[in-house]
Amino acid sequence: MLTVRNLTKTFTSGRWPFAQKRSYTAVNNISFSLKPGEILGFLGPNGAGKTTTIQMLLGTLTPTSGSIHYDEHNFAKQPIEALKKIGYASGYDKLPPRLTVAENLDIVGRIYDISGPRRTQQITKLLNIFGIDALRHRQTGTLSAGQATRVMLAKAFIADPDIVLLDEPTASLDPDVAHEVRQFILAQRKERGIALLITSHNMEEVTELCDRVLVLKQGAIVADNTPQALAESINKVRVHLTVTNNAHLLTTFLHDASISFTTHANQFTIELDEHAIAQFLADLATRTIIYCHISIDKPTLEDYFLTIARHKESV
Amino acid sequence: MINLSASWAIALRHIRMWRRDPNFLLGAFYWPLLDILIWGFLGSWIQQSQATQFHNYEMIALLCVLLWQCVGRASNALITCFNEELWSHNIVNLFSLPLRITDWIVGAIIFTGIILSMISFFCIFVCALLYQISWLQLLSAFCIFALPLFICGIWVSFMALQIIVLLGKRSVELGYVIVWFLLPFSGAYYPIEVLPAWGQTISTVIPMSYLFQGMRAYLMYDQNPASYLITGSVMALVYASVAILLFVCCFKYSKHHGLARLAD
């Protein structure tokens, strides 16, 4: 459905003769594909190249090299045919503020060349789905961030697209509305087999929605796997202990062993390698450190993301 | 190939916006009205001096105001069509839809044509109301010169848009200034003969100067304006076509740096 090959974007800054030209590669030779019905997550720290990639996929930024194909359409040669199949919503963009919600969606529908009656039907359907029918005649500029996001999502789905690109789709939504949006996305995938590419900083959302996650770092893809597999690639687990006796001994032991931990009163959260848990518990017993409660958190996608982000900071 | 549905959507987007924004409406109707009052009464006063070289001056002064709207107001409205997408952070949204730049150009020109027609009819109505002139003669003379001058407005606006599409928001004011730079050399309010030699040289390459000369020859001296009209119209068409072509090239070049940066 979507095939991206060796996509690269290099920006050059500085204008001769006033400044020396400098090059910066925002996206570095990335390749991936998106199959019908697949939901692909795009993760990475700020500046990793996610938005740059999405802009290239939308044609608002020309790649330095590489190719993008939507089905049989080469995006460089047939951008309009490809864009007719794509819906897009971003938390960073806005719709004309003076126009009402219905007027804005009507304009978008006309650009997609949707006929009058179907356009009206689609607008009503989507406004109901996203719970904003009451806002139909409100000017878009007067909406709250969450309401505006829902209008943008309605815009993305107005032409019944085959592929939807969503940049932070639920960033400013209340949890219950965000949940409804996720359910809508999953239903669209099930009913119509649409493919979605989503960037999000909400790791739970990515884990819930995405079949596969691409992790970008400094413009390159550093991982391409399921959210679960990525989380499991982190060996660290978090052990929560409520210590009833010899808490000071535990603190000393953790310091001596250079084990990362946080503590509040007699509660400890300790980061350990997964395979070191048994030895750690044995060490507690040897030191007569007694605890009344223990729980172990498995690594999540967020842990994976933090590992990547921290590594970036140290580079 | 142009998708008329998409073009009309662009025109409609701006019509809906102007309808709701008192600033735009005030700007569109207030300045022409002020020009009509100032130039109309000035024209009446000069005509009352009964100097032969100022024959029919009141009519000419009013027509100059009306016809300059076709250049100045059209250019202003067209540039605003693009700037509005930058101001409302809608540029990426808009061009991530199946919208060709040519669809946008046609839509913006349709909108400008509509808004200009409204302004012109309003101005002609005000002229007929305030001054002792033949509004029919005013209307017929206006109709002869309005279209080529509107094309001049398209030329000027797309020259300005070339700069804006390359430099973004920071060049918006520069875009509006260009048309006013051309005004002194266009012979809109006075014959170009009063300009110094270097000014007249500049006027020879400005299509508006031929059209305003033609208008003066037609109304002041009852001459046939055809030769001026043809020269001015052909120049305007060529200039506008080249300006639009260059704008499309600049738009494509701008995509190498990303359209999103234009709104920053």
Residues A222 and A251 in one domain: no
**CA-to-CA separations, A209 to A92, A178, B113, in angstroms, rounded:** 21, 12, 48
**Are A168 and A220 contained in the same domain?**
yes
* For residue B109, pLDDT beyond 80: yes
Residue A286 lies in a domain: yes
Nearest alpha carbon to residue A1 among A163, A142, A145: A163
In a domain? residue A9: yes
**What is the predicted pLDDT for the residue at A311?**
66
From chain B, pick out residues whose CB is under 8 angstroms from the CB of A107: 9, 12-13, 16
Q: Smallest CA–CA separation between A62 and chain B, in Å?
A: 5
Tens of pLDDT, residues B168-180: 988 988 888 999 9
Whether A314 maps to a domain, the answer reads: no
Chain B CB contacts of A93 under 8 Å are 89-90, 92-93
Q: Which two tokens stand for residue B91?
A: 């540029």
Task: Tell me, yes or no, if A60 comes closer than 8 A to chain B by beta carbon.
Answer: yes
Query: Based on the domain organization, do A276 and A244 belong to the same domain?
Result: yes
**pLDDT band (50, 70, 90) for residue B48:** confident
The CATH number given to whatever domain includes residue A27 is: 3.40.50.300
Q: How many residues does chain B have?
A: 264
Q: Is residue A282 part of a domain?
A: yes
Find the CB nearest B93 among A11, A95, A112: A95
Predicted confidence at residue B242, as pLDDT, reads 98
Task: Find out whether B175 and B168 touch, Cβ atoms under 8 Å.
Answer: no
Q: Does B21 touch chain A (CB under 8 A)?
A: yes
List the single residue in B with minimal CA-CA distance to A58: B96
Total beta-carbon pairs less than 8 A apart between chain A and chain B: 100
Chain centre distance of CA B39 = 18
pLDDT of residue B236: 97
Which CATH number covers residue A292? 3.30.70.120
Sheet holding A2-13, edge to edge: A22-34, A2-13, A65-70, A73-74
A141 and A270 assigned to the same domain = no
Domain residue limits at B89: 4-263
**Which of B89, B124, B86, B115 has the alpha carbon at shortest distance from B27?**
B115
Domain total in chain B:
1
Final residue in a domain of this structure, among A165, A194, A227 = A227
> What single DSSP character describes residue A281?
H
pLDDT tens for B52-81 read: 666 678 888 899 999 999 999 999 999 999
- Residue A214 pairs in a beta bridge with A42, A224
Among residues B147, B128, B115, B120, which one has the least CA distance to residue B19? B115
Same structural domain, A81 and A213:
yes
State the smallest CA–CA distance between residue B91 and chain A in angstroms.
Answer: 8
Q: Are B111 and B14 in contact (CB under 8 A)?
A: yes
Contacts with A, B 86-115, CB within 8 Å? 88-93, 95-100, 103
Mutation pick from A24, A60, A119, A123 vs chain B, by most beta carbons of B within 10 Å, is: A60
CA dist B59 and B52 (Å) reads: 15
Domain shared by A103 and A154, yes or no: yes
Place of tokens 């961030």: A145
Burial A200-219, CB ≥16 within 10 A → b, else e: bebbebbbebbbbbbbbbbb
Task: Kindly provide the ipTM of the predicted complex, given to two decimals.
Answer: 0.88
CA distances A45 to A185, A215, A315, B186, Å, are 24, 9, 13, 56
Query: Looking at chain B, which residue has its C-alpha nearest residue A59?
Result: B96
CA B219 to chain centroid, in Å, comes to 22
**Domain annotation covers residue A239:** yes
* Containing structural domain, residue A159: 2-227
Mean pLDDT rounded to a whole number for chain B:
92
Is there a contact between A24 and A10 (Cβ–Cβ < 8 Å)? yes
Judge if A18 and A75 occupy the same domain.
yes
Q: What is the pLDDT of residue A315?
A: 40
- Which residue ranges of chain A lie beneath pLDDT 70? 14-19, 311-315
Measured distance CA(B205)–CA(B218) in Å, rounded: 21
- Tell me, yes or no, whether A256 and A131 share the same domain: no
A90 with A222, same domain: the answer is: yes
Per 3-state DSSP, chain A is made up of helix, strand and coil in percentages (nearest 5) of 40, 30, 30
Q: Is residue A285 part of a domain?
A: yes
Of all residues in chain B, the one with the smallest CA distance to A96 is B88
Find the angle CA(B252)-CA(A153)-CA(A121) to the nearest 5 degrees.
Answer: 105
Q: Write the pLDDT tens digit of every residue in B240-263.
A: 999 999 999 999 999 999 998 888
Residue B27 is predicted with a pLDDT of 83
Residue A308 lies in a domain: no
CA distance between the termini of chain A: 36
Q: Is A315 within the bounds of a domain?
A: no
Q: Which residues sit opposite A215 in a β-bridge? A: A43, A223
Quickly count: other Cβ atoms within 10 Å of residue A85's Cβ: 20
pLDDT at A18: 65
| Nearest neighbour of A110 by CB, restricted to B6, B91, B95 | B6
- Asked whether A271 and A236 are in contact (CB, 8 A), the reply is yes
Q: Which residues of A touch B3 (CB under 8 A)?
A: 113
Nearest to A60 among B10, B96, B98 (CB): B96
* CB-based burial, B19-36: b 16+ in 10 Å, e otherwise: ebeeebeebbbebbeebb
- Per residue in B184-217, pLDDT (tens digit) is 999 998 899 999 999 999 999 999 999 999 999 9
Q: What is the number of domains present in chain A?
A: 2
The answer on A152 and A26 residing in a single domain is yes
Instruction: Look up residue A158 and give its two tokens.
Output: 């107005």
